[in-house]
Amino acid sequence: MEFIIKSKALYTTWVLYKPDRILFDVGEGISSSLGNKIYAIENIFLTHSHIDHISGLWGFINTRNNAMGSREKPLNIYYPENSEQIVKYISFIKNMNNRLRYSLNFIPINLKSVIEISETRYIKPFKTRHTPSELTFGYQIFEKRKRLKDEYKYLDQNSIIELSKKIGKDNISQRYDANILTISGDSLPIPLEYAENCEILLHECTFFKEEDRKIRNHTSLEELKILIKNINAKKIIIYHVSSRYNSIIKSTEEKLKKEFSDKEIYIVHPERKLKL
């Protein structure tokens, strides 16, 4: 299993990415829903200060202190720097939980930040279009990989082995950074450059119908489809959907699967946890 996701626009959103034990946002209900799994999480990335994305944080921090589980692992919480609401919330949490038995670090980040999450993977935030008064983030996970240098691409297997013996393994390959995952946070469609080459895209789609959207700070399905058409991602996970569409989630997902038959497409049902 790679993901556990709960997302209902306005109510709660959290995304657990299991391979790196990362949590994107911490909406309400997360601790009771994840139970002991919260001990495995070492890094939390907040996208912005809206309540439906951060309201579970206080409980999460407290439960991780008191429930049965290892307290050896530190907990790092990354958030957009200068976010006034988050800074206030952090100060409240620190005051209320001043006897923590594990190391808790709140780390402000900006658009230049690169956060190492393992020896081979790192995360970069990018700016989204959601609330003009606040810096809001989406995130990309990158993996450092190696591949055959372009000039040797057309050699057959035996020639590659020969060449490798002759000039050395390191000299036939080149390093590159693969964008394994991009998550939009709350936003209008994210710029193509952050989604273009990702392997998995998690994108919000609060509104299936354009006419339901009163303020342009969330994505509509029509807009998202244009983005999907222009990217290489094989897996698309649509989240942060308004519960007004509960009755048409399934049929909408079916339609999208037909329209984009070369991709795996999932919609996170606002009333259910998606395990993938």
What residues make contact with Zn ion under the rule CB under 5 A?
50, 52, 186
Q: How far is the CB of 9 from Zn ion (least distance, A)?
A: 6
Residue with Cβ nearer Zn ion (134 or 196): 134
Residue with Cβ nearer Zn ion (186 or 223): 186
Residue with Cβ nearer Zn ion (22 or 186): 186
Residue with Cβ nearer Zn ion (58 or 152): 58
Strand order of the β-sheet with 200-204 is 115-116, 121-127, 137-148, 173-183, 200-204, 235-239, 264-267
Q: How far is the CB of 257 from Zn ion (least distance, A)?
A: 25
Three-state SS letters, 184-241: CCCCCCCCHHHHCCCCEEEEECCECCHHHCCCCCCCEHHHHHHHHHCCCCCEEEEECC
The Cβ-side half-sphere exposure at 17, using a 13 Å CA radius, reads 21
Q: How far is the CB of 13 from Zn ion (least distance, A)?
A: 6
What's phi and psi for 24, nearest 5 deg? -105, 115
Q: How far is the CB of 118 from Zn ion (least distance, A)?
A: 28
Q: How far is the CB of 273 from Zn ion (least distance, A)?
A: 17
Residue with Cβ nearer Zn ion (64 or 189): 189
- Asked if 85 contacts 53 with a C-beta cutoff of 8 angstroms, the reply is no
Q: How far is the CB of 130 from Zn ion (least distance, A)?
A: 6
Residue with Cβ nearer Zn ion (52 or 223): 52
Q: How far is the CB of 218 from Zn ion (least distance, A)?
A: 8
Rounded to 10 degrees, what is the CA torsion of 194, 199, 200, 203? 30
- Asked if 149 contacts 108 with a C-beta cutoff of 8 angstroms, the reply is no
Residue with Cβ nearer Zn ion (50 or 121): 50
- Enumerate residues 6+ apart whose C-beta is below 8 A from 273: 4, 5, 6, 33
